[in-house]
């Protein structure tokens, strides 16, 4: 902790001089409220936040340079370590960019397309469960965390059956997926959907309708739609500000155009549109929609192959460049790849949604209380793995 003494003299009612001092506080990089190794330099006057500045880079793993020095297939494994709470989406986004290099003649098998959607939406639910569970802990509610992890554990068990991993999956591969799913696995997923939907009502009872939680989040960290767009915010952070932007609807990829689902947006139901409560509620409602998508995919999944025969064991994309985007749990995740025809990609660039989302923190924190800063950071739901890359 360091202090910066810029004294301000004020006249008290009794005629005595009062002196206040601004103080610089280091929150992090190792701090439970920063959701990872994030350092926030906070300038305070008493309990009021005058300004703050997020400092990133404590989790930098040279992701892009690694991908330029290993084979294209090996690079998929490195994408898992970006948003490690939604690794399926990272795999899919990168594989889409590689597949685009092959041109329209590369056709992903129908069964693989359905499996991708099922796994991605289950992973989105698992990510949001951790987000709202830890968010409850941020503002003092312990029980929702235990409830959310109970359900998240069931999803991780499903993934363990499908690909043998519980966090970093390396499952979606260029041209399809690594392993097929049998009828028993599909039945397990269907049973989870039936089990999970009523549990969302429990979260509403524990948190969404909790008066203390509402007071801690309503009218706190208000992010206007214009400011969110100016900073490039996407995902639940942007939708919490009332902007119905979702790539699965606006620019469908894979087979998302075949499914019916709604795009939840913030409505200011307990305060101002774009506050912490709106961002929280968007994630809760997205879990219902993801379950809805999974159920539709389970009903329609066809048989057949799970990998394109055009992509062999040694992946050598044709010369060219490609950029693709997907709607990951935290927003618009983009991959730009350049190939010179070799097994190792010439250039890889990742557009990480969490980086843009955390960049808006100073704008929505000024004038808030220090305790509210914790609620604001939690509502942004960042993952430092993709912030730093």
In the chain, domain spans: 2-55, 63-388
User: What is this structure's pTM?
Assistant: 0.92
Return the number of other C-beta atoms located less than 10 Å from residue 51's C-beta: 14
DSSP state of 342: S
Contact by Cβ (8 Å): 261, 292: yes
The CATH number assigned to the domain with range 63-388 reads 1.10.645.10
Residue 374 CA neighbour count, 13 Å, CB half:
16
Alpha helices in the chain (DSSP H): 63-67, 72-79, 87-101, 110-138, 143-163, 183-203, 211-217, 225-230, 236-239, 247-250, 276-300, 353-359, 361-365, 370-380, 384-388
Per-residue pLDDT tens listing for the chain (389 residues): 444 444 444 444 555 566 677 899 898 788 777 888 999 999 999 889 999 999 998 988 899 999 999 999 999 999 999 999 999 999 999 999 999 999 988 999 999 999 999 999 999 999 999 999 999 998 888 898 999 999 999 999 999 999 999 999 999 999 999 999 999 999 999 999 999 999 999 888 889 888 999 999 999 999 999 999 999 999 999 999 999 999 999 999 999 999 999 999 999 888 899 999 999 999 999 999 999 999 999 999 999 999 998 887 788 999 999 999 999 999 999 999 999 999 999 999 999 999 999 999 999 999 999 999 999 999 999 999 999 98
Is the backbone peptide bond immediately before 239 cis, with ω within 30 degrees of 0? no
Which of 328, 336, 330 has its CA nearest to residue 355?
A: 330
């Amino acid at each position: 902790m360091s202090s910066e003494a810029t004294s301000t003299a004020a006249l008290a009612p009794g005629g005595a001089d009062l002196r206040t001092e601004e103080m610089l506080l280091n929150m992090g990089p190792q701090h439970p409220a920063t959701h990872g190794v994030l350092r926030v330099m906070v300038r305070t006057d008493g309990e009021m936040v005058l300004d703050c500045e997020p400092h990133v880079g404590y989790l930098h793993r040279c992701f892009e340079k690694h991908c330029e020095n290993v084979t294209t297939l090996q690079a998929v494994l490195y994408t898992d370590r970006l948003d490690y709470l939604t690794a399926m989406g990272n795999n899919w986004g990168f594989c889409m960019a590689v597949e685009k290099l092959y041109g329209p003649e590369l056709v992903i098998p129908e069964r693989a397309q359905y499996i991708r959607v099922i796994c991605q939406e289950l992973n989105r639910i698992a990510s949001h469960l951790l987000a709202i569970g830890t968010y409850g802990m941020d503002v003092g509610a312990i029980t929702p965390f235990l409830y959310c992890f109970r359900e998240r554990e069931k999803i991780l068990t499903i993934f363990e059956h499908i690909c043998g991993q519980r966090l970093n999956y390396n499952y979606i591969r260029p041209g399809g997926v690594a392993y097929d799913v049998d009828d028993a696995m599909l039945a397990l997923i269907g049973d989870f959907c039936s089990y999970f939907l009523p549990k969302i009502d429990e979260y509403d009872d524990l948190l969404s309708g909790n008066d203390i939680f509402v007071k801690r989040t309503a009218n706190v960290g208000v992010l206007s739609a214009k400011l969110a767009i100016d900073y490039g915010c996407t995902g639940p952070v942007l939708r919490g500000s009332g902007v119905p932007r979702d790539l699965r609807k606006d620019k469908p990829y894979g087979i998302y155009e075949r499914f019916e689902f709604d795009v939840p947006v913030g409505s200011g139901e307990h305060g101002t549109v774009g506050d912490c409560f709106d961002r929280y509620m968007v994630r809760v409602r997205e879990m219902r929609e993801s379950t809805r998508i999974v159920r539709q995919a389970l009903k329609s999944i066809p048989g057949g192959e799970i990998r394109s025969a055009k992509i062999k064991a040694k992946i050598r994309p044709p010369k060219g460049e490609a950029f693709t985007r997907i709607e990951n749990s935290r927003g618009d995740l983009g991959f730009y790849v350049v190939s010179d025809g070799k097994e190792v990609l010439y250039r890889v660039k990742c557009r990480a949604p969490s980086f843009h989302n955390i960049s808006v923190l100073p704008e929505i924190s000024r004038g808030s209380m220090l305790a509210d800063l914790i609620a604001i950071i939690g509502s942004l739901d960042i993952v430092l793995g993709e912030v730093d890359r």
